[in-house]
Each structure stands twice: as C-alpha cells, then as structure tokens.
Amino acid sequence: MASHFPRNQSFSFAAFLLLFQLLTVNIITAAEAQIGVCYGMMGNNLPPANEVISLYRSNNIRRMRLYDPNQAALQALRNSGIELILGVPNPDLQALATNADNARHWVQRNVFNFWPSVRIKYIAVGNEVNPVGGSSSYAQFVLPAVQNVYQAIRAQGLHDQIKVSTAIDTTMIGNSYPPSQGSFRGDVRSYLDPIIGYLLYAGAPLLVNVYPYFSYSGNPRDISLPYALFSAPNVVVWDGQYGYQNLFDAILDAVHAAIDNTRIGYVEVVVSESGWPSDGGFGATYENAHVYLDNLVRRAGRGSPRRPSKPTEIYIFGMFDENGKSPEIEKHFGLFNPNKQKKYPFGFGGKRDGKIVIDDFNATNSLKSDM
C-alpha cells in the first residue's frame, strides 16, 4: 500500500518527533521506576529523617529500602510518593514468629498506621539470615515470621499490594558458573526451599543482595575489573545462548537458575542491595565506585539475559557513608556524604529545562561504560 507521508514531509517529521518523544518518555519512565536507594542509619552524623526524605525527593529517588520501622522516617515518608521496602530487623524475628498477635501488632503499628500515605510495597522480614554462620540463631524464625506478617496483611485484604518476603545474600549460592547451572548450597536447601515455596504461594519476589564487588575483590585473578564494573567492551562469558558482558547479570541469572533448579516454581527476584565502596578495601576506590554506580543506574529498566522481558528492580546501597558500621569497608558505600552533598555526579531522572532526562552523570567522563 502506498504511503501518504511523502506528500507532506513536515507532517511526517512532526509525527516522527512526537513518536520519538513518546518512546523516550516511556523508556526513561521504565528505567526510573526500577531504581531505589537503601537508607541506612548506622552513623552518628547523619541528617534527620525529614531532611533525608527531602533529599530523596529533590534527587528524584522514587524508591527506598528502610531496614527497620523508624517512626520518624515513616512519618516523613507520608505523601512523599516514595515506594518502600520496610524491614523487620533480625532481632525482632523471634517475637513475630512465635506469637501471631505480636505480628499483628507490629503490622498495625508500622504498616496500617501509615498506609496508604506511605507506599509500602514490600516487607523484608529479616536480612541476610543464613542457617549456617553467624546469623544461624535467627534462621528458624524467618519463615514463621514471614507467614505471620503475611496473614496480618492478608486479613486486611492488602496482600496483593504489600508483598512479604525476606532478603538473602548470594553466599547461599553453591554453584554460580556458568550461570545456567546456578544452584543453592546443599546445607541451606532445607531452610530456603520452604521460603521459596511460600513466595510462590503468595506471589511475592525473593529479595537478593547482589554485590559484584565482593566477587571481584575475592578473586581478581579470574574476574576482570571491567567485567565487574559493567565496562567490558564485549561479551566475557558465553553460557549457551546467553552472553554476559557484566558480572552483575551473571550473578543475577545464577540466582534465577538456582530458583528454577529447585523445581518449586517461578519466583521473581528483586535486587534489594547492590553497590561498590569508595574506600576501605581492595579495588574500593572513588573511580571504581563512580563507574559501577553510573552503569548500575543505566542498567536499570531492563532484564537479564535469562529473563530479558522482566526489568530488574534494583536498590542501591546506600544513601550515606555510615561511620557506625564495621568492618571499615562497610563505611564507604554511600551515594551522599553525611552533609547531604553528592559523593558522585549522578542523577536518577526527572525534568530539567522542561525536558525529561535519565541522569546527570558527566557525559564527558572518560570512565563511562561502552555498553
């Protein structure tokens, strides 16, 4: 069929511009919607919660992870439009697991008293609890605490809006190479499989903390720095039909495969932490952290090779350098200094001069990824 557009080239060009702008807005909105920042409070020099929430809003950070139900932060989040992962601290797990009334009271005080003016999206019941290791004393309480919190949410008909899960780290992965052969360690399966089964039943994602930094710093002989920083110019690892140009996607897909290989069912993954320290350890430099965070923000809004159609939801760790953390390297993950000044020239999208932009990273920075 003959086109009519050549008869009116000005109309054609205007239509093209409109279409391009609409596509650009949709792409940028999708990317913005998938990125958040974790708000840790382990410092004696951090600004008050109301100023922190204002800092989120002024920098167009639309999602937050909060590790405990800090009442000042929850009050400041009212009507902010920021979506929230709300944490149950590990020491609270036993009380919520062993008494359903305790769970109902916790949910009433920290969820229902703020909903819907605080947009709680997930409740993370415990963080990095492992049945083998230093946090093993908490492990028996994670699943019953998750279930009791879920039942309290469900009783109010909000279980489709507020998902209840827990956050794990990737030390639970026994095999991660190649990613398609990802599997959980045998000594954590009896702990983790019932949790995955619950998540499948409840339609909730598994929250996973993903840190290419620790993989790289623990094995720099076999893992190249560009691969860890998203800056490798070409595919580094081929795994059948899947090509991996960065370690983040390889770790993430190893988690996807590990879940699939349990044969329990399909469970989504939310990256509940990822970051790179600017000091305090091998490979922990300002330049490396800048490159990693720049590219992590750019990566948001798209899927992994194994699950390309599902954009990955990512929470950057963390908002501030926290001087109360240990060991030393844990003190240097912040995007901002405690005085609220940016550590890196980054942005999270929004409007500038009437135009929607995806970030404010220095376009002339020679460290920019070749992705």
pLDDT digits (tens, 9 = 90+) for 300-339: 889 999 999 989 999 999 999 999 999 999 999 999 999 9
Cα separation, 218 vs 92, whole angstroms = 32
Has residue 41 got a pLDDT over 90? yes
Task: Write down the pLDDT at residue 71.
Answer: 98
In a domain, 183, yes or no: yes
User: Strand 83-88 to strand 119-127: parallel, antiparallel, or no bridges (unpaired)?
Assistant: parallel
Q: What is the CATH number for 168? A: 3.20.20.80
Q: What are phi and psi of 351, to 5 degrees?
A: -115, 140
Model confidence at 341: pLDDT above 70: yes
Q: Is 367 exposed, middle or buried (0-12, 13-18, 19+ CB in 10 A)?
A: middle
Could you tell me if 277 and 213 are in contact, meaning their C-beta atoms sit under 8 angstroms apart?
yes
Assigned token pair, 218: 């623990």
Nearest to 346 by CA among 59, 81, 40: 59
Tens digit of each residue's pLDDT (9 = 90 or more) over 111-167: 999 999 999 999 999 999 999 988 999 999 999 999 999 999 999 999 999 999 999
Q: What share of the chain is helix, strand, coil (3-state, %, to 5)?
A: 40, 15, 40
Which residues have a Cβ under 8 Å from the Cβ of 332 and sit 6 or more positions away? 277, 278, 279, 280, 284, 289, 321
Mean pLDDT for the chain overall: 87
pLDDT score of 9: 36
Neighbours of 195 (CB within 10 A): 23
Question: Could you give the CA distance from residue 269 to residue 230 in angstroms, rounded to a whole number?
Answer: 20
On whether the CB atoms of residues 166 and 85 are closer than 8 A, the answer is no
Q: Rounded to 5 degrees, what are φ and ψ at 222?
A: -100, -15
Residue 367's pLDDT band (boundaries 50, 70, 90)?
very low
Residue 26 pLDDT > 70, yes or no?
A: no
Comparing 346 with 244, the larger pLDDT belongs to 244
Q: Does residue 50 belong to any structural domain of this protein? A: yes
Query: Domain for residue 127, yes or no?
Result: yes
Number of domain units in the chain: 1
The reply to whether 241 falls in a domain is no
Does a structural domain hold residue 218? no
Is 128 a known active-site residue? yes
Examine residue 13 and state whether it is found in any structural domain, yes or no.
Answer: no
Average pLDDT over residues 53-75: 97
Would you state the structure tokens that stand for residue 199, as one six-digit string? 């998540």
Which amino acid, one-letter code, is at 127? N
Query: Which residue would you say has higher pLDDT here, 356 or 233?
Result: 233
Q: Which residues pair with 88 in a beta bridge?
A: 125
**pLDDT of residue 14 exceeding 70:** no
Is residue 255, in this structure, part of any structural domain at all?
A: yes
Q: Which residue has the higher pLDDT, 370 or 246?
A: 246
pLDDT in the model for residue 349: 66
What tokens appear for 132 in the block? 């083998």
Let me know: does 106 contact 85? Beta carbons within 8 Å. no
Q: Is the pTM of this model over 0.85?
A: yes
Cβ-Cβ contacts under 8 Å for 350 (sequence gap 6 or more): 32, 60, 356, 357
Catalytic one of 32, 83, 273, 330:
273
Neighbours of 25 (CB within 10 A): 11
- With a cut of 60, say whether residue 298 has pLDDT above it: yes
Question: Which residues, including other chains, have CB under 8 Å from residue 154's CB and lie 6 or more apart?
Answer: none
- For residue 109, give the DSSP letter: I
Mean pLDDT, rounded, for 97-121: 98
Report how far residue 39's alpha carbon sits from residue 43's, in angstroms, rounded to the nearest whole number. 11
Nearest to 60 by CA among 369, 364, 359: 359
Residue 178 lies in a domain: yes
Q: Which of 32, 128, 313, 330 is catalytic?
A: 128
Task: Look at residues 104, 106, 62, 101 and name the one whose alpha carbon lies nearest to residue 85.
Answer: 62
Domain hosting 269: range is 33-212+249-357
- The structure tokens listed for 229 are 């920083």
Q: How large is the average pLDDT for residues 37-66?
A: 97
